[in-house]
Amino acid sequence: MLELANVTVQFGGLSAVKDVSLRMGSDEMVGLVGPNGAGKTTLFNVISGLVKPIHGRVLFDGVDVMHEPDYKRARLGLGRTFQIPQPMHELTVRENLVVAQRFGAGRVDAARIDEILELLQLTEQAGRDAATGLALQELKRLEVAKALATEPKLLLLDEVLAGLETQGKRLFMEKLREVHARYRIGILIIEHDIETISSLCPRVVVLDFGQIIADGTPQQVFNDPAVIRSYTGVEHA
Amino acid sequence: MNQRNFLFAVLLLATYVLVPAVFGDNNYVMGLIISALIVAGIAIAWALLGNLGGMVSFGHAAFFGVGSYASALLTMKLGWPVLLAMPMAGLIAVLFSAAMLPALRLSGPYFALAILAYAQIFRILATEMDWLTQGAKGLSRIPTLPVLFGIDLGSRSGSYLVIVTLLAAFIACYAWVRRSHYGTALRAMHDSEQATRVVGVNSVMLKAWMLFLSAFMTGVIGAFNAHTINFLEPDYAFGGGWSVLPIVAAIFGGYRTLSGPVIGALCIYLIDQLLFKSLLPTGHQIMLGVLLAAMILFAPDGLLPLFRRRHA
Ligand SMILES: Nc1ncnc2c1ncn2[C@@H]1O[C@H](COP(=O)(O)OP(=O)(O)OP(=O)(O)O)[C@@H](O)[C@H]1O
Ligand SMILES: [Mg+2]
C-alpha cells in the first residue's frame, strides 16, 4: 500500500536519493538500513511530505499523495517519528498525544491514549512537560506514541532503537512487534544494527548513496557482497 | 459553573451595574472609560493573535479603520441598521485581513513588518478613494447606536453597556478557543510547527483562523467607535495609535492572560490621558513608546503579572 516510484531528491548538487522505487504491504515490517548519509531520513521526509522530490511519485493505498501536504498525509495514515525527537513544545506528554489523536485520527478517545501511554511506558510521565521533562529514551518513546495516536496505517520509525542497551532494546522490539500485530499497521524502520534489524524484520532494504542496493530477507541482504562492501566501508571509516 | 466562570459572571454584573450607577451622570468620566474599553477590545484581539496565533501585529489599525469605514458606509450609503452593520463591518475586516494570508508564512519579525506596511496602505487607500470615503475631508454625521428595549444605546451609559457586552463576548470566545483542542494545537505550533503538522494539524489554516478572529473583533470595535463618535477621517481611523496603544496595554497588563489586556488598557489609557497628556500636550504618545520599550526590556510578560507573582 506504500509505493515509491523513481523518487529522486536533490539538495543543491547532491543527489540524496536517486531513482528509488519501493513497494511495501500494509502487513509488512520492513527494515531500512544503510550507512550514514545514505538518504534514509530523506526518504522518510519524501514519504511524509516534508521534502519534495524533483522526480518520482509516492502512492499510498493506491492514491497519489504527491500533492497532499504533510498534515493531510498524516490524516491519511502516514505516521512518523523523527531521528532527533521533536516533541510538541509547551505541551505535556498527554497533550502531545491528544493533539495527535484529535487532528491526526480526527477523534478523541481517552482510553486509547491511556493504552498508548501504557504500551510505551509513559503513563508516569503523562503530566510532564514534553520538551523539558523527559530523558532522551523517553522522548524517543514519545515520538512513537505520538505517531501511534494519529492511528496510522503505516508507521515510519527513524532510529527509535538507537542508543538503547541490550535489555531495553529487546523490550522495545517486543513493543514494536505488539504494535504491528495489535493495531495491524505496516512498519518501515530505520536501524543501523544488523542483528536488531535481522531479528525484527523479515524484509530488509539497503540504501547506499541514495540508491537501493539490496532488498530481501536479512539472510540474503547481509550476505550480499555489495552490502558487505558498503557496510565494511563504513565500519572502518 | 466553576469558580472562575462564577467570578467572571459576578465581575461582569458589577461592571454592568456599578459603573453606570456611579459615573452615569458624568459624561466626561463615562467617555474616558468607553475610550479605554475600545482600546481594551483591540488589545484583546491583538493578544489573541499573539498568544494563540503566535503573530505579533503592528497593524491592527488597519482592521480597526476598515471596520470603522465599513460600518459608517453601510449605514450612511446603504441605510443598513447600525446593529447589523457592525458585525458586517467585522466580516469585511476579515475579508481584508485575508490579504495578509501570504504573510502568515513569514516568521515573526517579517510578519510584523508586513502587517505594518499593510496598515499604511489602507490609510492611503481611504484617503485616495474619496468618491467612497470623502477622502481627507472625512465622514461626518455617522448614525449613532439605536434605542433597543427602551435603552438608548447612543447615550454614554448605553454605549458603555454595548462595549462591555462586546468585550465579554470576545473574552468568552478567546477563552473557549484557548481551552479547545485548537488552542492546544496552537500552543504546540509556536516552537514546533513541523512536529505539529506531521500529526495532522493544518497549522497555516489554524493561524489564519486566529487572524480572522482577531480582525473580526477589531473591525467590530472600529465600527462601534465610528457610531459613538459619529465622525471619521483616514488619519484618525487608521492612525498608528490604534496599533500602538493596544500593544502597550496588552503587554502592560500581561498579554498571556485573558484579563491582562483589559486591565492594561484601563491603566494605560487613563495614564496617557490624565498624566502624559497634561505633561506633554503634544507628542504624549512618545511616553507610551518609552513605556513600551522599558516593559519589553524589563518585564516582557507584563507589569501586572510581575506584581501578582511578587505578592503570590
Ligand atoms: N535539508 C537538507 N539540505 C541539504 N542536504 C541535506 C538535507 N537533508 C539531508 N541532506 C543531505 O542528504 C544526505 C542524506 O541525508 P539523510 O539524513 O537522509 O541520511 P541518513 O541515511 O538518514 O543518515 P543518518 O544515518 O546519518 O541519519 C546527506 O548527505 C545529508 O547531508
Ligand atoms: Mg537519518
- Domain segments of chain A as ranges: 2-209
pLDDT (0 to 100) of residue A100: 97
What separation in Å is there between the alpha carbon of A113 and the centre of ligand 1? 33
Q: What number of C-beta contacts closer than 8 Å exist between A and B? A: 79
Query: B100 or A24, which is more confident?
Result: A24
How many angstroms separate the CA atoms of B79 and A213, rounded? Answer: 75
Phi then psi for A18, rounded to 5 degrees? -120, 110
How many angstroms separate the CA atoms of A150 and A193, rounded? Answer: 28
Q: Do A69 and B202 touch (CB under 8 A)?
A: yes
Q: Do B199 and A150 touch (CB under 8 A)?
A: yes
Element containing residue B283 per DSSP (H, E): none
CB-CB neighbours of B7 under 10 Å: 11
Domain total in chain B: 1
Q: What residues of B are in contact with residue A80 (Cβ under 8 Å)?
A: 198
Strand order in the sheet with A14-24: A14-24, A2-11, A55-60, A63-64
pLDDT in tens, B186-219: 999 988 899 999 999 999 999 999 999 999 999 9
Q: Does B162 touch chain A if contact means CB atoms closer than 8 Å?
A: no
Residue whose grid cell is 446603504: B78
How many angstroms separate the CA atoms of B223 and B92, rounded? Answer: 11
CB-CB contact of B251 with B267 (8 Å): no
What separation in Å is there between the alpha carbon of B162 and the centre of ligand 1? 59
Q: Does A89 touch chain B if contact means CB atoms closer than 8 Å?
A: yes
Mean pLDDT of chain B: 85
What's the CATH number where B188 sits? 1.10.3470
Going by the DSSP 8-state scheme, the letter that residue A237 receives in this structure is: -
Please give the CATH superfamily to which domain A2-209 belongs: P-loop containing nucleotide triphosphate hydrolases (3.40.50.300)
- Phi/psi region, residue B54 (left: phi>0; alpha: psi -120 to 50; beta: rest), is left
**Burial category of A174 from C-beta neighbours within 10 Å (exposed 0-12, middle 13-18, buried 19 and up):** exposed
Ligand 1 pocket test, candidate residues A9, A10, A42, A47, most atoms within 8 A of CB: A42
CB-CB contact of B65 with B237 (8 Å): yes
Name residues 195-254 of chain B within 8 A of A (Cβ): 195-203
Amino acid at B58: F
pLDDT (0 to 100) of residue A182: 87
Does residue B294 have a pLDDT over 70? Answer: yes
Q: What is the ipTM of this complex?
A: 0.91
Does residue B84 have a pLDDT over 60? Answer: yes
How many angstroms separate the CA atoms of A192 and A207, rounded? Answer: 11
How many angstroms separate the CA atoms of A9 and A11, rounded? Answer: 7
Q: Does B188 touch chain A if contact means CB atoms closer than 8 Å?
A: yes
Residue A51 Cβ inside 6 Å of ligand 1? The answer reads no
**What is the chain A residue with the closest CA to B198?**
A71
**What is the chain B residue with the closest CA to A90?**
B188
How many angstroms separate the CA atoms of B258 and B267, rounded? Answer: 16
Query: A46 or B303, which is more confident?
Result: A46
How many angstroms separate the CA atoms of B271 and A19, rounded? Answer: 67
**What is the chain A residue with the closest CA to B179?**
A95
Binning pLDDT at 50, 70 and 90, where does residue B25 land?
confident
Report which of B203, B225, B178 is spatially closest to residue B47, judged by C-alpha positions.
B178
Cell of B172: 468568552
Atom of ligand 1 nearest to the CA of A42: 18
Cell of B72: 459608517
Q: Structural domain of residue B188, as residue ranges?
A: 3-310
Does residue B258 have a pLDDT over 70? Answer: yes
How large is the average pLDDT for residues B122-147?
Answer: 79
CB-CB contact of B57 with B46 (8 Å): yes
- Answer positive or negative: Cα dihedral of B177, A77, A22, A140: positive
How large is the average pLDDT for residues A127-141?
Answer: 92
Residue A193 Cβ inside 6 Å of ligand 1? The answer reads no
Q: Do B199 and A95 touch (CB under 8 A)?
A: no
Percentage of chain B lying above the pLDDT 70 cut: 95
pTM for the full model?
A: 0.88
Report which of B100, B90, B89 is spatially closest to residue B57, judged by C-alpha positions.
B100
pLDDT in tens, A155-214: 999 999 988 888 989 999 999 999 999 889 999 999 998 889 999 999 999 999 999 999
Atom of ligand 1 nearest to the CA of A17: 14
CB-CB contact of B108 with B56 (8 Å): yes
How many angstroms separate the CA atoms of B39 and B264, rounded? Answer: 9
